[in-house]
Amino acid sequence: MSSDDREGSENNSEVAVASTSAEELNSDTKTKSVLKFITWNTDGLHREHLIPRAEAVCRTILNEQADIVFLQEVVPQSAEYFRNHLTDYQCLFGNEEGYFIGTLFKKSTVSYKGSQIIDFPTTMARNCLKVNVGIVFLKNSINIVTKSTCGCM
C-alpha cells in the first residue's frame, strides 16, 4: 500500500490469515485440528486512527479465532490496548519503546515455553522475537519467530 493510499484510508493496516493443518505440522498425529495464524502490520507509525485500527485488529483476531498472531509496527498505546482487550491471549512484545513487534497466542491452544529477543545491529532498533510454544494437539513444541521488515523511520 503506498503512502498516498494510507492517507485516505481509515483502516490502512494490512492483514494476512493462514491456516495449517496439524497433519502438515506433524504427520504422526491423528488429530485433524487446525492451527490458525494471523500476521498484521498494525501501522502504528501513523498515529491517526490508532485506536480504531487496534479495535479492528482485536475484532479480527477474535472473529478468526487465531491461535498465533504476529504483529508489526506496534506502539505502546496499541500494545496496551491489545493486552486489555485480548485477555484470552498471551501478549509478548519485542520491545516497549518506539515501535516494535509482537506475538500473541491463544492461551487455550498454545502454551508458552520461553522467548528470546534477538537484536539486529541497526539504527532502527530492529529485533526478532523468537518464542518457543507448545501446541495443545501436537506432541512437540515449536519455535515461532516474527520480525518487522519495514524500512521506514
Please write the tens of the pLDDT for every residue from 11-32.
Answer: 444 444 444 444 444 443 345 4
pLDDT at 46 over 50: yes
Give the residue, 144 or 101, on which the prediction is more confident.
101
What predicted TM-score, i.e. pTM, was given to this entire model? 0.69
Angle (CA) 92 138 93, round 5°: 5
* Among the listed residues 116, 110, 147, the one whose alpha carbon sits nearest the alpha carbon of residue 25: 110
Task: Match 508458552 to its residue by C-alpha cell.
Answer: 112
Is residue 71 very low, low, confident or very high in pLDDT (cuts 50, 70, 90)? very high
> Would you identify the CATH topology of the domain 37-147?
Deoxyribonuclease I; Chain A (3.60.10)
Work out the percent of the chain whose per-residue pLDDT is above 90.
31
